[in-house]
Structure 1
C-alpha cells in the first residue's frame, strides 16, 4: 500500500501570514534560498506516515472532538531567533493557556497507538515559525542580518489544528479544524 505523509500544525493567518510570505519571498530572491514547502505555521506533530487511511479518519475525529471542547488562546509572534546556523525563525511566545492546550492535545495524540514519535518530540517545545532553512551555511550571517532589519510583532491565536498532506512535492491543507471559540 502507498504510504501517505502528513504533519499537524497550527496555521498562521492574517497580517502575520502576509508578512511571512513577503519575507520568505524576499529571502528567496535576495539569497537564492528556496522557501520551506509548508505555509506559515508552528508545528504540533512532526511529519509522519501511514498507509492506513482509517488512521487518518481516527485522527480527524480526535482533532474535531478536541477543538469542539477547547478554546483558542493567545500567542505573540515577535522577533527572530535561530537553531544553530541552519534554521532562522520568528519567535512565537505562547500564552500559558496556549501551552496548556498544546500539551493537552499532545496527550490526546499519544492515545493513537499507530502514531510514531521521534525522540526530539519529547523535549520542551520551542514554538517558532520558520522563515529560512536548508540553506548553505555560509549564507546564514547574511540572512540573519537581513531579517533583523524587521521587527515582527503580531498578536495571534492558537485557534486551529490543521492536518497537511504531502502531495506533488509540496504540503497542502488536508483538513483545518477551528477551536470552539
Structure 2
C-alpha cells in the first residue's frame, strides 16, 4: 500500500514567500522542516493500492470546473504547535472545495477524521509540531511579515510519499 495526500499546491509568489519563510524559521529556531511544499490540504494522508479510483474521481470532477480566487492574508496558529499563513477562500473556492469533498466521500474505502472535509480552516502551514517553548518566538518572528497574496485554487494534486518525502504524483489543473 502506498501513502497519498490530496492538496492544492500554491504557486508563484506565494510559493517563493513560503519557501523562504519556512527556511528562515527552521534555520533560526532549529525546528524541523515540514516535508510538503506550499499547499492547503483537501484530504489528509491515506493509504491505498486503489489510487486509480481517486484519479478517476478527480478527472470526472474537474471536467467542468475552473480556478477560484483565494487570498493569503497574514498568519494564524492552531494551539501553540502550528503556525500557518491564513487562506481566505472566495465563496467560489469554498463551493469548489465542498463539492469535491462530496465526490471524494463517495469513495467507500476512503476514511475521514473529524477535522477533515467541509467547514475546514483553510491554511498553509509554516511550521508544525512546535514545542511550547518555541512558539512565542516563532510567532513574533513571522509577524514581522505580512503576506498578502491574491492567488488561486487552481489545481487538485495527489502527492505520494516516497524516498522519505512527498512527491507530486499527479497534478490536475482547474
TM-score by length of 2: 0.97
Question: Following the alignment from structure 2 to structure 1, what is the Cα–Cα distance between the partners of residues 24 and 114?
Answer: 34
Summarize deviations over 1:126-159 as a string: whole Å, max 9, x none. 0000001112210000000000000000000100
Gaps of 5+ in 2: none
Report the counterpart of residue 38 of structure 2 in structure 1.
40
Match of 2:91 among 77, 80, 96: 96
2: distance between equivalents of 1:176 and 1:71?
14
Q: Which residue, out of 6, 10, 13, partners 2:11?
A: 13
Q: Which residue of 2 aligns with 1:80?
A: 75
Q: Secondary structure at the match of 1:119?
A: coil
Distance 2:102 2:53 in 1: 15
Aligned-pair CA distance for 1:163: 0.2
Q: Among residues 33, 48, 61, which one is paired with 1:66 in the alignment? A: 61
CA deviations 1:42-81 (Å, max 9, x no partner) are 000011011x2xx211111111121121111000001000
Match of residue 153, structure 1, among 148, 151, 162: 148
After TM superposition, what 4+ stretches of structure 1 lie above 6 angstroms from structure 2? none
Q: Which residue of 1 aligns with 2:106?
A: 111
Aligned CA-pair RMSD = 0.9
SS in structure 1 at match of 2:26:
helix
2:164 is matched with which residue: 141, 163, 169?
Answer: 169
Please give the alpha-carbon distance, in whole angstroms, between the structure 2 residues aligned to 1:76 and 1:120: 22
Shift, 1:22, TM fit: 0.2
Aligned residues: 174
After TM superposition, give the deviation of residue 123 of structure 1 in Å. Answer: 6.1
Say whether the 8 Å CA contact 2:98–2:118 is kept in structure 1: no
For normalisation by structure 1, the TM-score amounts to: 0.94
Give the stretch that moved more between structures: 122-131 or 154-163. Answer: 122-131
